[in-house]
Amino acid sequence: MHYLLFYEVVDNYVEKRAPFREAHLKLANAAHERGEIVLAGALADPSDGAVFIFRSQQAAEDFAKSDPYVLHGIVKDWRVRRWMTVIGEGSTGVVPS
């Protein structure tokens, strides 16, 4: 099982994130090195959000609450959803009935 962290971002997100990008990436890289983040990235065409795959709900929530993008209003809303992974590396392999 994994947890998806969805970010809803402000208009002109790409430009507005610039002053906070280094700190955001440092936080994300640290979470990845600890094994908390599996994958992460911004949505494209249009650039109107971001999605992160985490190994735990707590790690996803803690990340969002400390992310400079959230703290400085670049992310206007975020949510975490449990994802029942069935196929692929790291999946639970259990098909829900």
Would residue 73 count as lying in a domain? yes
Task: Please state, in angstroms and as integers, the Cα–Cα distance from residue 90 to each residue in 23, 56, 77, 78, following that order.
Answer: 28, 13, 28, 24
pLDDT at residue 96 above 70? no
Domain count, the chain: 1
Q: Model-level pTM?
A: 0.92
Q: 39 with 53: CB under 8 angstroms?
A: yes
Show the tokens assigned to 43.
């949505």
Q: 32 with 40: CB under 8 angstroms?
A: yes
pLDDT band at residue 97 under the 50/70/90 scheme: low
Average pLDDT over every residue of 63-81: 98
pLDDT at residue 41 above 70? yes
What is the domain range of residue 9? 2-83
What pLDDT score does 93 carry? 72
Q: Please report, for the domain that includes residue 38, its CATH number.
A: 3.30.70.1060
What pLDDT score does 88 carry? 86
Show the tokens assigned to 20.
């906070």
